Amino acid sequence: MLTFSPHLLGGVYLGWSLGANDAANVFGTAVSSRMVRYPIAVALCALFIIAGAALEGRAGMATIAGLSAASISSATFAAVGAALSITLMTIMRIPSSTSQAVVGAIIGVGLVDGTAKFSGLGKVVICWIGTPIGALLLAALGYRAGAWLFNRLRLSMLVTDAVLRAALVVSGCYGAYALGANNVANVTGVYYASGLLTLDWSVWLGGLSIALGVLTYSKEVMLAVGRSIVKLDAYSALVVVLAEAATVHVYAMIGVPVSTSQAVIGAVLGVGLVKQATAVKFGAAGRMTLGWIATPLIAGLVAAAIHLFAHLRYVP
């Protein structure tokens, strides 16, 4: 049975921040294209995030745990530092990477107390780089393949609309499932590493915390993803969600938490480049890229500062 510790509030806050900033990306393109209503999208998103976390969220825990031999207090400093960084990005309406924030915070705290481990960091960084590139390629190829299929089927406009609407709901649910499976380790992996949570409680508490963020504070970032880089029609939205979901799910099976924001942006760029390169707002994409670069650095500094301040005040 779980005994709730005040230290876990840092993880709950981090999960809420992740849900508010990242999780709703899987339905953002569908909502911005007005094919799925926002209340339906967030309800389905929350439900399937919990399912993904519970069923396939355990693999990433070992990766996060392998970056630090953190104590319970250090785990809390890392979680709060990452959450504060993500909250700042959310307020600025910049989709950022929770995975990068968590790793940056873990390394920042680890450098302060001497518990940082760098042996698994190279694998994580390679996966970060591969996430938007893989999603871009999948989206570009998927757009052309799907367009060929729809042209061969010659469906009426009403039938096409119904098919796309249903497909967006199904693909969004799959994307939410993949996100829960991949990102739950970001939320409670440090607590699993410290021994405060068992593996089962880690995935359940993490999944519920992410779902809470989706339900309460995800709308602005959701709309920003679908509208700020390239205007998406319903078919393009479907391709983006499928490419993002497939990319994130692959990394979930590998056991490396990655960013759904990066996967979505990569997929949106892939579709935009196939349709018409001039339709892509590279300024917005560049701003988001700068956000990703800054996120681990800011999270590391914030978490390290919290750790140093807490020890100056004496934390048992």
In tens digits, what is the pLDDT along the chain, a chain of 316 residues? 566 688 898 889 889 988 887 766 788 767 776 778 889 999 999 999 999 999 999 999 988 888 876 688 888 899 989 888 888 776 776 667 888 889 999 999 989 888 788 777 888 989 988 999 999 999 999 999 999 998 898 888 889 889 998 998 999 999 999 999 999 999 999 899 888 899 999 999 999 999 999 999 888 777 765 555 556 778 888 898 899 999 999 999 999 999 887 888 888 889 888 887 555 555 556 666 677 778 888 899 999 999 888 877 654 4
Is 21 part of any domain? yes
Torsion angle in degrees (nearest 10) through CA of 124, 260, 110, 309: 160
Q: Residue 116 carries which DSSP code?
A: B
- In terms of Cα–Cα distance, which of 77, 105, 112 is closest to 300? 105
Instruction: Please give the tally of structural domains in the chain.
Output: 1
pLDDT of residue 286: 65
- In terms of Cα–Cα distance, which of 28, 91, 80 is closest to 309? 80
Is 1 part of any domain? no
pLDDT of residue 287: 64
CB-count exposure of residue 281 (10 Å: 0-12, 13-18, 19+)? middle
pLDDT of residue 55: 96
Length of the chain counted residue by residue: 316
| C-beta of residue 192 within 8 angstroms of C-beta of residue 68 | no
Give the dihedral sign, CA 103/106/109/115: negative
Tokens matching residue 306? 């919290």
Is 12 part of any domain? yes
Tokens matching residue 151? 């042209």
Is 3 part of any domain? no
Q: Residue 24 carries which DSSP code?
A: T
CB-count exposure of residue 284 (10 Å: 0-12, 13-18, 19+)? middle
pLDDT of residue 173: 94
> From its phi and psi, is residue 152 left (phi > 0), alpha (psi between -120 and 50) or beta?
alpha
pLDDT of residue 256: 92
Is 215 part of any domain? yes
Find the domain containing 295 and state its range: 8-311
